Structure 1
């Protein structure tokens, strides 16, 4: 029975999870940027800690006085640099405290004890929590833990807090765990997402030819909601997406592209393999036109010396990609395929089963799947949170 899952505690989901890398609240945006570039995780946790060294010297108990107050990723840095007040001098903007880019939405990150139940974890996620911070067992000696407590980092990344290491638990971790026991949820797992009523039509969308800068607010919101921004044509058909999961794998120079390119061109810019040389030249030209020399110099968006465009007939001023032909999501092509690499949206059909959509999302490492009809009409989106509501009701 599915109720047997309730015997599991969150520590069961933490097995093999790597320890969190973290930054103190006193760090700068530049510190966060450097940590993100050297981390295997897309997110860096931010902690507010007391000075442990004075307590240790006095013989007092350290106690649980370190708290994770949030998380930051490359998308937070990119959206921050795209603000009008930061465009002229990104170097100065990076000197701001990391709190400047911390999401202001309460409850996105919460602490949870290892002995907490799986049901409690699911309830917190359904309340809006994206990352659960859970203590994990470490192999390091107490001496090494004490040594780090005596000399806490003031700006650089660290892993120990309160004498312990911690890990993230995410929506994806919970969905993966439930998928391993999907047989316990028969026949619900075989029902279509349409029949289960978990498709939402509350989507974020932008026109293919619209300036990408107008999507900055939508990108920030999609990150907070763990969704994506749909890029649509004049008829509302889905062409692709600007995904925070894709942007999190880029670097801060994407801020220059968002400031200067259309939404459609931005999709090509962030696609796998690096930006096309033509688009790099367009970004350079338009930064100069906007008198954003500081951004141009800091981001160094110029292509290597001596390179030439693969399409020299296109001028910097006139270059713009054409939208794909209608019907690209024809029924003869697999709904589960990512057809144009990272900037392409992952789509399913309203009649797709819940378990099929779960597998599809996990395979592509996204928290959502776009839903489209046979005629390529965009129906809506289904998210991990929507799926967890179904499992929660069943439990």
Structure 2
């Protein structure tokens, strides 16, 4: 049974995965924004293609990165862009790409499960894997710029694998990791105490650098009170389902008010009025015009949350969730509450909670709700890597 798990290749994890949503590196941020709003995915892959002068096709294409709504929001929040978002959106999409090498990495379908885990532990967030074509015709990027194909030479299409995909796959064979999976996260030494925090009453703009860092680290920013108690979070996983005009809220609100703003597709009217007034105070009329257009047409949502897990719970400072419409006009709900556990929580319990709520981390708190650290998918994967390598030895 263990040998069968070790024999798996990354192609086995790609079964049923859809082809990547893609834009060319020549696209502008506005084109990327349109692509994100029309996609069912929260991330869009960015491709660079070198034209073979002896052919009419692009034979040398490579995925050079990925972008999401959070990249655009953080970009619009910059001092040079907040006053004129329309102008900022005309910039090339390349300015949003991560400067960290290896975040997106091409791999052969025959890569082993262990090789994939090793790449992720060493910084790869998305593994780009070729798959068989799902269409008979060559796909083109739906962008108003110079179009580039989503396929490489030979007509191949691509999907990508994430940390969540690998963790979900390992969870399906969790019995092979007994008794390790039942050990507490504290005993396994995977609680990371280097966390990003902001005080509840601090300006949300002070969290901007932390938001960018948490996006790169696939974590979140903890919102705490003066005693270090976890009140909630500002999560890239939530922001990815919001509109770009959250940039106006980050610029004008406190961290606590920002949580309420992004906690639903339509923020409370009183907070919307605060954003409007403060944009006027700051003479940010370019952003104000965009915000007025945005705020006039947002749907409002209301929903409650619950958790049945015994060891891992949900800290719920509010009762709504965030979301946005996809191209099918279906409202996508997203938890905005902080997902928490305690040091004695078992590895498998934390895995299940993270997978169920589609996040790659869980906050670790003490009984008095003070935050002590965070458990990430990358830390979990190190545990499984060591276990699988021991089977080889």
- TM-score band (shorter)? 0.7 to 0.9
Q: Shift of the alpha carbon at 1:168?
A: 1.2
* 2:200 aligned with 1:223: no
Question: Which SS does the other structure have where 2:283 is aligned?
Answer: coil
Going from structure 1 to structure 2, the CA distance change for 1:73 and 1:155 (only over 3 Å counts) comes to: farther
Please state whether the residue corresponding to 1:194 is helix, strand or coil.
helix
What is the CA deviation profile of residues 221-271 of structure 1, one whole-angstrom value per residue up to 9, with x for unaligned ones? 000000000000011110000000000000100000000000000000000
Structure with the greater alpha carbon radius of gyration: 1
State the alpha-carbon separation in 2 of the partners of residues 62 and 284 from structure 1. 47
Per-residue CA deviation, residues 293-347 of structure 1 (Å, 9 max, x unaligned), is 0111123267549xxxxxxxxxxxxxxxxxxxxxxxxxx9974236344331000
Residues 99-178 of structure 1 mapped to structure 2, 5 A cutoff: 99-141=94-136, 144-145=137-138, 154-155=145-146, 159-162=150-153, 163-178=155-170
2:279 and 2:287 in contact (8 A); partners too: yes
Moved more, 264-273 or 153-162: 153-162
Q: CA deviation at 1:105?
A: 1.0
Partner of 2:185: helix, strand, or coil? coil
Matches within 5 A, 1:267-346: 267-300=259-292, 303-304=295-296, 335-337=312-314, 339=316, 340=318, 341=321, 342-346=335-339
* Alignment check: 8 A CA contact 1:69 1:109 kept: yes
Asked if the contact 1:335–1:349 (Cα under 8 Å) also holds between the matched residues in 2, the reply is yes
Is 1:355 paired with 2:364?
Answer: no
Question: Does the alignment pair 1:66 with 2:61?
Answer: yes
SS at match of 1:66: strand
SS in 2 for 1:129: coil
Cα distance in 1 between the residues matched to 2:5 and 2:359:
24
2:370 corresponds in structure 1 to: 377
1:132–1:168 Cα contact (<8 Å) kept: yes
The aligned residue for residue 55 of structure 2 is: 56
Structure 1 residues 102-131: Cα deviation after superposition (integer angstroms, max 9, x where no partner): 111111000011111111110100110000
Would you say how many aligned residue pairs link Structure 1 and Structure 2? 360
What is the RMSD of the two structures over their aligned residues, measured on CA atoms?
A: 2.2
TM-score normalised per structure 1: 0.86
Deviations 1:183-212 (A, max 9, x none): 011110111101101001000000001000
* Superposition deviation, residue 273 in structure 1: 4.4
Q: Which runs of 5+ in 1 are unaligned?
A: 306-331
- The answer as to whether partners of 1:23 and 1:155 remain within 8 angstroms in 2 is no
Structure 1 residues 157 and 36 mapped into 2: Cα distance closer, same or farther (>3 Å)? farther
SS at match of 1:357: helix
Inter-partner Cα distance in structure 1 for 2:90 and 2:376: 36
Return the offset for 1:371: 0.6
Q: In structure 1, how many angstroms separate the alpha carbons of the residues matched to 2:103 and 2:205?
A: 25
**Residues 51, 152 of structure 1: 8 Å contact kept:** no
Q: CA contact under 8 A between 2:11 and 2:110: conserved in structure 1? A: yes
Indicate how the Cα distance of structure 1 residues 299 and 180 shifts in structure 2: closer, same or farther if over 3 A, else same.
same
What CA distance in whole angstroms lies between the structure 1 residues aligned with 2:296 and 2:85?
22
Q: Deviation per CA, 1:332-371, whole angstroms, max 9, x where unpaired?
A: 9974236344331000111111011000000000000001
**Kept after mapping to 1: 8 A contact 2:312/2:350:** no
Whether the aligned pair in 2 keeps the contact of 1:21 and 1:158 (CA below 8 Å) is no
Gaps of 5+ in 2: 298-308, 322-334, 389-393
- After TM superposition, give the deviation of residue 158 of structure 1 in Å: 5.5
C-alpha distance 2-333 of structure 1, shift in aligned 2 (>3 A)? closer
1:68-120 Cα offsets, whole Å, 9 max, x none, are: 00000000000000000001111000000001111111110000111111111
Q: How many Å separate the matches in 2 of 1:379 and 1:298?
A: 40
Q: CA shift at 1:4, angstroms?
A: 3.2
Distance 2:311 2:188 in 1: 23
Alignment partner, residue 317 of structure 1? none
- In 2, distance between residues paired with 1:158 and 1:234? 52
